[in-house]
Amino acid sequence: MTTRQKFIAGNWKMNASLPANAALLGALLEGLRQQPPACEVAVAVPMPYLSQVQQLLAGSSVRLGAQDVSAHDAGAYTGETSAAMLRDFAVRYALVGHSERRQYHGETDAQVAAKAERLLAAGITPIVCVGETLAEREAGATDAVVARQLDAVVQSLGAAAAQVVVAYEPVWAIGTGRTATPQQAQQVHAVLRGRLAAARPEAARVAILYGGSMNAANAPELLAQPDIDGGLIGGASLKAPDFLKIIEAARA
Ligand code: 13P
């Protein structure tokens, strides 16, 4: 993806089955055939379905994504999936540091940075997720939290930091129906953009996606903000008509 091209990515989370995936992608690809997208589109799917979704997406412009990756290259790490394995299934993007992994699996900033490194070494673009909890926002710590999470990755990647995608996902807006206002989101995106530019001038053009209850109704205004380059969509990516409307909103 060229940097700062609009980018709409779906994160299916732990929602999938063989027939549901075929139905969802059938409807999505048919919609995109009728109205080809003006932006990069990807779906991040659960690991067991990589092969199925790779085949369903073959010949389309929709890219395959994963939701996580191991911080290790190979070896005795039961249950983990390496970046090289993802590469075998033509995975283009993988989320790292999603708040659900930080919250429920204790992922640290250092682990997130290591995962991003493994992905880049395998030729896969990391989508580095950052975001504050409600308590952190209410304590006025939003900027400090997202800066800390981003800096950990940028510092460990060095010049390669310009090759990532960043997703700002306020934890309080995920799956809650409570979206950040376009102004709240833009403010944090501008902080992230400033941070990237200060670390590496070339990283100022990294795409920064917004995620957290983005839907067909609120996408146009969010995507119109100067530093919002796209969306990372959870719930609404599971409904083809809604996801298609968000992809369409990225055209403007
Ligand atoms: P929702 O769109 O369901 O709020 O999820 C956002 C998200 O976490 C995407 O990674």
Within 10 angstroms of residue 82's Cβ, the number of other Cβ atoms is 19
**In the annotation, is 105 catalytic?**
no
Cα(185)–Cα(87) distance, integer angstroms: 32
Q: How far is it, in rounded angstroms, from Cα 45 to Cα 17? A: 10
Q: What are the residues facing 126 on neighbouring strands?
A: 94
Measured in Å, residue 173 CA sits from the centre of ligand 1 at 8
Q: Give the tens place of pLDDT for each residue, 109-136.
A: 999 999 999 999 999 999 999 999 999 9
Pocket test for ligand 1, best of 166, 169, 179, 237 (most atoms within 8 A of CB): 169
| pLDDT reported for residue 72 | 98
- C-alpha distances out from residue 185 to 137, 145, 155, 238, Å: 12, 14, 24, 23
Spatial contact of 146 and 132, defined as CB atoms under 8 Å apart: yes
Q: Which domains does the chain have, with CATH numbers?
A: 7-249 (3.20.20.70)
pLDDT at 178: 87
The answer to pTM > 0.75 is yes
Is 138 a catalytic site residue?
A: no
Mean pLDDT calculated for residue range 61-81: 98
**163-199 pLDDT per residue, tens:** 999 999 999 999 888 889 999 999 999 999 999 999 9
- 148 touches 192 (CB < 8 A): no
Greater model confidence, 51 or 3: 51
As a whole number of angstroms, the distance between CA 113 and CA 151 comes to 9
| pLDDT tens-digit map of 16-66 | 999 999 999 999 999 999 999 999 999 999 999 999 999 999 999 999 999
Residue 193, SS3? helix
Confidence of residue 84 (pLDDT cuts 50, 70, 90): very high
pLDDT at 9: 98
Q: Which position among 132, 136, 169, 248 bears the catalytic label?
A: 169
pLDDT at site 184: 97
Q: What are phi and psi of 14, to 5 degrees?
A: -95, 55
**Nearest 5 degrees, angle CA 167-CA 168-CA 169?**
110
What local confidence, expressed as pLDDT, does residue 23 receive? 98
Give me the amino acid identity at 127: I
The confidence band for 203, taking pLDDT boundaries of 50, 70 and 90, is very high
Task: Give tens-digit pLDDT for 138-172.
Answer: 999 999 999 999 999 999 999 999 999 999 999 99
- Categorize the per-residue pLDDT at 246 as very low, low, confident or very high, splitting at 50, 70 and 90: very high
Report the residue among 174, 178, 179, 214 best suited for mutation to probe ligand 1: largest number of ligand atoms under 8 A from its CB. Answer: 174
For ligand 1, atom 1, name the residue with the nearest CA: 234
The amino acid that residue 40 corresponds to is E
Give buried/exposed letters for 101-118 (b at 16+ CB in 10 A, else e).
Answer: bbeeeebebebbbbbbbb
Note whether 92 and 64 are within 8 A (CB). Answer: yes
User: Residue 125: what are its φ and ψ, rounded to 5°?
Assistant: -85, 120
Per-residue pLDDT at 2 exceeds 70: no
Per-residue b/e over 219-248, b at no fewer than 16 CB within 10 Å?
Answer: bbebbebebbbbbbbbbbbbbbebbbbbbb
Dist. CA 11 → ligand 1 center (Å): 7
Question: What pLDDT is attached to residue 1?
Answer: 67
